Amino acid sequence: MKLVIQRVTRAAVSVNGETVGKIGGGFLVLFGAGAEDTRADCEVLARKLVNLRIFADENGKTNLSLKDVGGELLIISQFTLYADCRKGNRPNFLAAKEPREAEALYEYFCELCSNEVPMVERGIFGADMSVELVNDGPFTVIIDSLGGGIL
């Protein structure tokens, strides 16, 4: 599983010109499921995500989590995080999980996050989406998991 986490002051996602999710301050998360990923990987990464300390405390140190600051989440599915560009100029996506199974993991991941954070918005799985964000910092973190372990 791969997460690209961007700390934002606001973010929104739209499909066909209609906003389907938007947040104020928090994280915009691009979520990709790999062929070997499981629900256990979702559990590890959801816990890591909501407790990731990348917000400033009263001393300006990145010491507070999303939960600490009452931040919001916008989670967007993005299989292209598994693009393999090693051969030629056209990426392949063979390392991405099959769409039906990936959607189930995406929904499970969003559900886990909703249990920890009051505001969790999402895109529409498999849709052609337009994403807007104001990156705060900018501060971007990438987290991978393999078999329940975080790389």
SS3 56: strand
Q: Where are the beta strands (DSSP E) in 33-148?
A: 53-56, 62-65, 72-77, 120-122, 129-146
Annotated catalytic residue: which of 6, 31, 55, 78?
A: 78
Q: Which two tokens stand for residue 148?
A: 């329940």
Q: By the 8 A CB rule, do 120 and 113 touch?
A: yes
Which amino acid, one-letter code, is at 68? D
Which is the catalytic residue, given 27, 31, 55, 79? 79
**Catalytic site includes residue 80:** yes
CB 22 within 8 A of CB 75: no
Q: Which of 9, 19, 62, 80 is catalytic?
A: 80
- The question of whether 6 is a catalytic residue gets the answer no
Minimal CA–CA distance to 106: which of 90, 124, 127, 81? 124
Q: Which residues are catalytic?
A: 78-80
